[in-house]
Structure 1
């Protein structure tokens, strides 16, 4: 089984913010694959189904971003999942708006949700799909990631979230190497 996790913050107040693009990718995956993500379990909204004939669980942690690792540790331990079968989708300020970066493993960078996951799981050996949201030119970083996209960036971000969902499906069905070759950039 693969676990695909989208990072974000729970609550209407955070809908459509830069920090919640991971949740949006999970919503799109759920819609594309007829999976209901509404069962509250392991401090997360979860839904089980299939992608390309392979069993998956879609996850939206409800712990708030900085504590995402608590939810994932529960899931990984409960299902005895190899971290290589965990895919984390999240926003990244170090990637240009509209770009994707898919990696097999790696550090958390400046992302507090990823820091929490790596700390709780005690490994960084799992795939991730980073959705570029860009850096603020000025102002507070927290305000920036908790802010919404300007009107002119919305079409680009809709397309990028769709590519993130497609890349995640490809990781499940065809492996990460093919997904990196097709979707990085």
Structure 2
């Protein structure tokens, strides 16, 4: 049995070129969680070697008196996310239902987020790669809305940075998502899902 209760995998692409892009929303949330827990002794935040060396990884306790989580940023590029996620689950003897994947979501507008367990991949190549490597879709997802482009190609849109006008909304979403992760760690997925799915940014 694993000493970690969850693997939190925030999806994105490595390198400064992609750092602030919509496709890296998952990376942004993992970084925000690390920043929140840094310097908090009870969190036990510390780097960990990712299995097969295909990601940046840390151990941490989002809630002081609860089991530790693994925080993972795959460094394989989005389309091969499963090559980083699957080996970590296997190495630590964790099950797919102990995985929470954070990713950008075209089918939700910026300012909305959804949490769900299982289901399809809606054309998201990161999710597709993970499902293929695990042999199942039965894992948790935290979908952070980015909306669809009004003009132009979807691929160009997700690989472009958030605009200056969007950044305040991005910040609010990250704050709300962090609170939801703490709820997940403290009370489980059902309570966190209710919190996430009822979230609205006040106009």
Q: TM-score, normalising length from structure 1?
A: 0.95
In the alignment, structure 1 residue 82 sits paired with structure 2 residue 86: no
User: Structure 1: any 5+ residue segments left out of the alignment?
Assistant: none
In the alignment, structure 1 residue 17 sits paired with structure 2 residue 21: yes
Match of 2:68 among 55, 58, 68: 55
Tell me which residue corresponds to 2:124.
111
- 8 Å Cα contact 1:129-1:168 kept in structure 2: no
Alpha-carbon distance in 2 for matches of 1:40, 1:178:
29
5 Å-filtered alignment, 1:121-140, equals 121-140=134-153
Match of 2:177 among 147, 152, 164: 164
- Larger mean CA deviation between 32-41 and 127-136 belongs to 32-41
Shift of 1:162: 2.1
Classify 1:162/1:103 alpha carbon distance in 2 versus 1 (closer, same or farther; 3 Å).
same
Could you report, residue by residue, the CA deviation over 1:90-144 in whole angstroms, capped at 9, with x for unpaired residues? 1011111110110022111121000000111011111110000000011011110
- 8 Å Cα contact 2:22-2:104 kept in structure 1: yes
Tell me which residue corresponds to 2:8.
4
Alpha-carbon distance in 2 for matches of 1:4, 1:37:
14
- 8 Å Cα contact 2:51-2:87 kept in structure 1: no
Structure 1 residue ranges, 4+ long, deviating more than 3 angstroms after superposition? 36-42
User: Structure 2: any 5+ residue segments left out of the alignment?
Assistant: 39-44
Alpha-carbon distance in 1 for matches of 2:161, 2:179:
23
Shift of 1:82: 1.4
- 8 Å Cα contact 1:26-1:60 kept in structure 2: yes
Alpha-carbon distance in 2 for matches of 1:46, 1:181:
28
Aligned-partner SS, 1:148? coil
Alpha-carbon distance in 1 for matches of 2:81, 2:179:
23
- 8 Å Cα contact 2:51-2:91 kept in structure 1: no
- 8 Å Cα contact 2:81-2:126 kept in structure 1: yes
In the alignment, structure 1 residue 64 sits paired with structure 2 residue 68: no
Larger Rg: 2
Alpha-carbon distance in 1 for matches of 2:158, 2:48:
25
Q: CA RMSD in A?
A: 1.4
Shift of 1:41: 4.5
Alpha-carbon distance in 2 for matches of 1:17, 1:123:
28
Alpha-carbon distance in 2 for matches of 1:113, 1:21:
12
Tell me which residue corresponds to 2:113.
100
- 8 Å Cα contact 1:68-1:116 kept in structure 2: yes
